[in-house]
Amino acid sequence: MAIAIIYMAKEFNWNHSIQGYVSSSFYFGYISTQIIGGVLTDKFGCRRVLGTAAAIWTLFTLLTPISARIDIYCLILCRICLGIGEGLLYPAIYSLISKWFPPEEQSRAASITCVSSYVGMVITMPVSNLLGSSQFGWESIFWVFAIVGSIWSVCWHFYGKSDPRDYPGISKEELELILKNQSTVCSEDNFGNYQSGSSEYITIIDDDHRIPKSENDMLLPKNQISSRPHYVHKIPWKLIFSRREVWAILLCQFFGALSFYVLINWLPIFYYEYFHVDIHLIGFYSALPYLSYAAMGSIAGYICDYAIYQLKINVLIVRKSFSVIGTLGLLIPLLLTTYLAKTSFEGLLMITIGFTLFSFQIPSYFVSQFDIAPKYAGVICGLGNTFGVFPALFCVALTGWILDVTSNSWSTIWCICSLFKIIGTAFYVSWAGGEVVIE
């Protein structure tokens, strides 16, 4: 939509405010399924949840051109429904990571997962640009990616598994490694790397006799391992909301998301209007910063895991340092762009540098739930994304209004984004935790 809306605005004669309404409507649906997505995946696994989500967003991607031709209200409703499907995505993925990866690989797994979406943007933005400028028009953008979504859904139906014990191709050695490491990550030997001032942690016991009372109960020979996946049957909501370590994640995502969603939705328009980039090149200009983000984000995840598990640096020092680097690395180039960049190339270079450093945020607060509550990673991810989407409900549309009333003052937009991002990082640095507090 970030690329397609440029073509749509020209055809339908939309001003910035209407463009903001269309872009922000997606997030009203996206926010509605974050928490329920985390609960469902932590309880029942992500195979069906993710499959259903993909079917929903594929359907409404296909319907987007039709709804836009009807009227603006139909388009907004379609975007809300598409958001409902996509809202289930990240809680399901984080729940999947917590079950499929040993703790020492979870930072890089989460990082690769996050940057993969940006790899997708690197591909889709130029492709969308080519499709929008072709004889098939901007409608073909949505048709093509609806087909891609359908193909992925079929593959996931046959090959996706919620739990490694359900996957027939996994080796006994790999399965035992995953289960063993999940059970020993909180052992006394590992508290040295995961202390944040107190070794207090809280254990939630499920009274259901069908659920193992200890993760060690699962460390059995393969022929004795239950085929029933170990899912959460009770969510300790009161305990989750009572921990400052959880609030560090939630508030960081709340304040930090404003700059993120403004950039996602308005960066192509910024290039087009501020630097007067040719409309046929917008997709390529928009893709390069995300390419640098994806490349550096993957490396940052490995650096983070190496620093914690090989160099034995305290996990909190690593997480907080990466968060600060990501924040300042983005904001400084972004603020300087409208003051120092004289050409579109200079602007692209500065924004690309900012996105490269911004990727260091991924193995910080995005993976903190694995440190403090690995069993409830999907739930906390859903909560974090819910808090993170709240600013998108108003900031994306508000950006259009500010541009209209300030005669396209992009420097004002970037200053507001910077302020909120700094506030979010301050909360994370102050309250983040580095050990399991909810088990």
DSSP 239-297: HHHH-HHHHHHHHHHHHHHHHHHHHHHHHHHHHHHHS---GGGHHHHHHHHHHHHHHHH
pLDDT at 225: 42
pLDDT tens digits for range 10-26: 899 998 889 889 988 99
Residue 111, domain member (yes or no) = yes
Backbone φ and ψ for 5, nearest 5 degrees, come out as -70, -20
Residue 190, domain member (yes or no) = no
The pLDDT confidence band at residue 320, using thresholds 50, 70 and 90, is very high
Q: Is the pLDDT of residue 193 over 90?
A: no
pLDDT at 181: 60
Distance CA 153, CA 408 (A): 41
Residue 196, domain member (yes or no) = no
Q: Taking residues 234-241, report their average pLDDT.
A: 86
Residue 358, domain member (yes or no) = yes
* Pair 433, 243: CB distance under 8 Å: yes
Over pLDDT 90: what percentage of the chain? Answer: 31
Whole-Å CA distances, 24 to 21, 264, 279, 298, 400: 5, 11, 22, 29, 10
Residue 59, domain member (yes or no) = yes
pLDDT at 287: 87
Q: In terms of pLDDT, which residue wins out, 239 or 201?
A: 239
pLDDT at 111: 74
Residue 414, domain member (yes or no) = yes
Residue 229, domain member (yes or no) = no
Residue 211, domain member (yes or no) = no
pLDDT at 408: 84
Task: State whether residue 438 is helix, strand or coil.
Answer: strand
Over pLDDT 70: what percentage of the chain? Answer: 88
Q: Is the pLDDT of residue 293 over 60?
A: yes
Q: What is the CA radius of gyration of the chain?
A: 22
Distance CA 235, CA 240 (A): 9
Q: What is the mean pLDDT of the chain?
A: 82
* Pair 253, 275: CB distance under 8 Å: no
Q: Is the pLDDT of residue 220 over 60?
A: no
Enclosing domain of residue 83: 4-164+236-431
pLDDT at 324: 94
Q: Taking residues 53-68, report their average pLDDT.
A: 94
Lowest mean pLDDT among 125-134, 177-186, 287-296: 177-186
- In CATH, what number is assigned to the domain containing residue 108? 1.20.1250.20
Number of domains into which the chain is organized: 1
pLDDT tens digits for range 345-400: 999 999 999 999 998 988 888 888 888 888 887 788 778 877 887 887 788 888 98
